[in-house]
């Protein structure tokens, strides 16, 4: 608190003292009080007023400095009402009580919102797990009908392989079913992205195996769109395989959605001093320079997304969000009409680098 601010706050009080001093001096002159005594009286008045203002200013400054110190040290600043420094002033006690009541109401409101959000997230997760069962059943039904076999559903019903559907029809149904599964999976990972630690397991992962698994999952989609895929990533990293597989799947789907003529998807890795870089590069439509910095924003579709139906702007946003939770770097480089390269940076600590061979030997033993 500055002295000038303090004096401005006491402006009306100082003005009252000034008026009273003028009236007192006028009264003394009317009653033939000596000028020396009048000046002495007013001087003592000014000295006492100055001392009182100085003491009050020092007390208030110390009080507010203590409050600011507490505010800076406390992580949960809504608890300031509970930690407010004591004061003999009725005004400060009333303010502290009002802040405490306000914070209590705010905390209760936040808790209700968090509980509602938790219930909603749990419901979404349970719904996703329930909807995955018929999705898997459709996929199995299509696969078995193509092979001329019957399939038994989870309800115990056995469906015959005979039917009027051609192999092409079944392939189309299977691909549309895969799109539904991708959308459902995106909902599940979005719901879980706030609490990644609940379903998180770090272990050594071979990038090539994980990439091949993602490509096999989207094999029909890549074949239908005439993709040529080049894979060269024999490095290993320490991360959660399931979450990274989801991120890679979203990037592959984006490459398919924004493909160009004679599409090529190149996936390669390289090891650097403090990490492993996994690059996914395509020769699709690319991204405009002015839009590149916004592609990870929630709901941003850009000019390419507006030109295509079904673009939500959630895929890359969710990838960035999960990468931040997992401690993985995600960057993009693109040229419009040329292609896009997305790079995932897996950090490797010096401790892991120094003990990697020892861990592998212990695992072999």
- Strand segments (E) across 171-317: 203-206, 228-232, 236-239, 264-272, 275-282
- 323-355 pLDDT tens trace: 888 889 999 999 888 999 999 999 875 544 454
Confidence of residue 282 (pLDDT cuts 50, 70, 90): very high
Confidence of residue 358 (pLDDT cuts 50, 70, 90): low
Exposure of 261 by Cβ count < 10 A (0-12 exposed, 13-18 middle, 19+ buried)?
Answer: exposed
Crossing angle, helix 207-217 and helix 241-257, to 10 degrees?
50
Of 74-78, 262-266, 277-281, minimum mean pLDDT range:
74-78
Q: What is the mean pLDDT of residues 174-183?
A: 78
* Percent of the chain predicted with pLDDT > 70: 84
How do 339-347 and 329-335 pair as beta strands? antiparallel
pLDDT of residue 68: 77
Place of tokens 């896009």: 340
- pLDDT digit string, tens, across residues 77-102: 666 666 677 777 777 778 777 878 87
191, containing H or E segment: helix 167-192
Q: How many residues does the chain have?
A: 365
Q: Which residue has the tokens 């003592």?
A: 44
What integer pLDDT is reported at residue 301 of this predicted model?
A: 81
Range of weakest confidence among 68-82, 259-273, 286-300: 68-82
CA distance 236 to 220: 27
Q: How confident is the model at residue 356 (pLDDT cuts 50, 70, 90)?
A: very low
pLDDT digits 0-9 by tens, 131-165:
777 777 777 777 776 665 554 544 454 444 455 55
pLDDT at 265 over 90: yes
Q: Does the pLDDT value for residue 297 go beyond 60?
A: yes
Q: HEC string of 215-256?
A: HHHCHHHHHHCCCEEEEECCCEEEECHHHHHHHHHHHHHHHH
- Which H helix or E strand runs over 93? helix 90-146
pLDDT: which is higher, 247 or 114: 247
> pLDDT, tens digit, for every residue of 198-229?
667 888 889 999 999 999 988 888 988 899 99
Q: Is the pLDDT of residue 2 over 50?
A: yes
Residue 159: the pLDDT is 45
Structure tokens at 56: 């009050």
Mean pLDDT of the chain: 80
pTM score, whole prediction:
0.62
Predicted local confidence at residue 199, as pLDDT: 66
Element (H or E) spanning 151, and its range? strand 151-152
Q: Does residue 129 carry a pLDDT above 80?
A: no
- Check residue 341 and give its pLDDT: 94
Residues 42-87: tens digit of each pLDDT: 899 999 999 998 988 888 888 778 777 777 777 766 666 666 777 7
Q: What are phi and psi of 293, to 5 degrees?
A: -70, -10
């Amino acid at each position: 608190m500055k002295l000038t601010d303090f004096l401005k706050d006491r402006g009306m009080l100082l003005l009252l003292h000034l008026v009273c001093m003028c009236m007192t001096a006028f009264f003394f002159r009317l009653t033939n009080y000596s000028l020396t005594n009048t000046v002495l009286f007013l001087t003592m008045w000014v000295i006492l007023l100055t001392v009182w203002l100085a003491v009050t200013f020092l007390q208030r400054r110390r009080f507010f400095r203590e409050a600011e110190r507490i505010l800076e040290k406390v992580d949960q600043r809504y608890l300031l009402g509970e930690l407010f420094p004591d004061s003999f002033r009725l005004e400060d006690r009333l303010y502290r009580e009002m802040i405490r009541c306000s914070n209590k109401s705010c905390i209760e409101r936040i808790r209700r919102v968090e509980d509602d959000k938790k219930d909603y997230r749990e419901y979404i997760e349970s719904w996703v797990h329930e909807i995955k069962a018929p999705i898997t059943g459709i996929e199995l039904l299509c696969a078995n009908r193509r092979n001329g076999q019957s399939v038994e559903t989870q309800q115990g019903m056995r469906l015959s392989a005979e039917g009027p559907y051609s192999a092409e029809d079944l392939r189309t149904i299977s691909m549309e079913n895969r799109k539904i599964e991708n959308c459902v999976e995106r909902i599940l990972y979005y719901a879980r992205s706030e609490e990644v630690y609940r379903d998180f397991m770090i272990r050594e992962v071979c990038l090539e195996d994980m990439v091949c698994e993602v490509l096999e999952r989207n094999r029909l989609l890549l074949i239908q769109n005439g993709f040529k895929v080049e894979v060269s990533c024999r490095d290993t990293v320490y991360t959660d395989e399931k979450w990274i597989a989801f991120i890679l799947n979203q990037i592959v789907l984006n490459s398919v959605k924004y493909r160009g003529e004679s599409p090529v998807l190149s996936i390669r890795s390289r090891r650097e001093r403090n990490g492993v870089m996994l690059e996914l590069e395509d020769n699709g439509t690319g991204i405009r320079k002015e839009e590149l910095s916004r592609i990870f924003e929630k709901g941003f579709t850009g000019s390419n997304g507006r030109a295509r139906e079904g673009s939500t702007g959630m895929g890359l946003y969710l990838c960035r969000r999960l990468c931040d939770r997992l401690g993985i770097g995600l960057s993009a480089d693109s040229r419009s009409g040329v292609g896009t390269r997305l790079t995932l940076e897996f950090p490797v600590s010096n401790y892991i680098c120094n003990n990697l061979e020892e861990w592998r030997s212990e695992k072999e033993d």
